[in-house]
Amino acid sequence: NAGVTQTPKFRVLKTGQSMTLLCAQDMNHEYMYWYRQDPGMGLRLIHYSVGEGTTAKGEVPDGYNVSRLKKQNFLLGLESAAPSQTSVYFCASSYRTSGAYEQYFGPGTRLTVT
Amino acid sequence: EDQVTQSPEALRLQEGESSSLNCSYTVSGLRGLFWYRQDPGKGPEFLFTLYSAGEEKEKERLKATLTKKESFLHITAPKPEDSATYLCAVRYSGNTGKLIFGQGTTLQVKP
């Protein structure tokens, strides 16, 4: 039981390049989330999904797209990277059962855009 | 506006010196308050969920409590391995499980 895994762990991009971050969970969770964490800003929600085939915008969605084609996977895409997207990205997942919404996080992806 | 504020930003303790971290929140209709621990270079690790005022949860040297306006994470006789950033989050939306996070308190426990 690996929990939540993220690929890659580190990445350096040049401005304008694109990339996809992969999140996978083996806990059969319905909900999945993408956050970014920046110094002094805390964790901010980018996009989330309440089930396979559904996605929704979070607090800071601009410049990002997501897809959830399979229940266990949640992809975060950057179509044209900007230096402002330099950050640590975390994926999380949770159950949908009544009251139990604690989120379980992956190890993070450190992205640098030059 | 829904908001979560943690204090202090940083806390230095000697081993064995008990203290408390604070998480104050302003949300319309609290549906759950969560505490996480984050070690450098790692993802947040779930610690506790509190749902109603007066509720308490304990785990080893940590005890979380909840009132109508704030939550406290009490650390009793801390050890150096308790050094980490502690994050507080509140659930603020119906059935999506979305959370608002505070900025965290970085705890350093010196031997």
> What is the average pLDDT value for chain A, to the nearest integer?
94
Cβ–Cβ < 8 Å for A29, A94: yes
**A106: nearest CB among B31, B34, B43:** B43
pLDDT at position A102, please?
Answer: 87
pLDDT at position B93, please?
Answer: 66
pLDDT at position A24, please?
Answer: 98
Tell me which residue has tokens 């992806």: A109
CB contact under 8 A, B46 and A104: yes
Confidence of residue B29 (pLDDT cuts 50, 70, 90): confident
Mean pLDDT of A41-70: 95
Q: What is the rounded CA–CA span in Å between residue A78 and residue A76? A: 7
Res B38 pLDDT > 90: yes
> What is the average pLDDT value for chain B, to the nearest integer?
93
Interface test with B, best of A103, A104, A110 (most B CBs within 10 A): A103
Interface of B with A in 68-97 (CB under 8 A): 87, 89, 91, 95-97
Confidence of residue B31 (pLDDT cuts 50, 70, 90): confident
pLDDT at position A2, please?
Answer: 80
Smallest CA–CA distance, residue A28 to chain B, in Å, is 16
pLDDT at position B95, please?
Answer: 66
pLDDT at position B2, please?
Answer: 80
Query: What confidence tens digit (pLDDT) does each residue in B4-20 have?
Result: 999 999 999 999 999 99
Confidence of residue B28 (pLDDT cuts 50, 70, 90): confident
Res A22 pLDDT > 60: yes
Greater confidence, B32 or B64?
B64
**A105: nearest CB among B32, B41, B44:** B44
- Nearest residue to B88 via CA among B9, B17, B15, B1: B9
Number of H helices, E strands in chain A: 0, 11
CB contact under 8 A, A100 and B104: no
- Return the percentage of chain A with pLDDT > 90, whole number: 88
What are the CA-CA distances from residue B98 to residues A58, A90, B70 (Å)?
9, 14, 19
CB contact under 8 A, B95 and A99: no
Q: What is the rounded CA–CA span in Å between residue B23 and residue B9? A: 11
Largest CA distance in chain B: 44
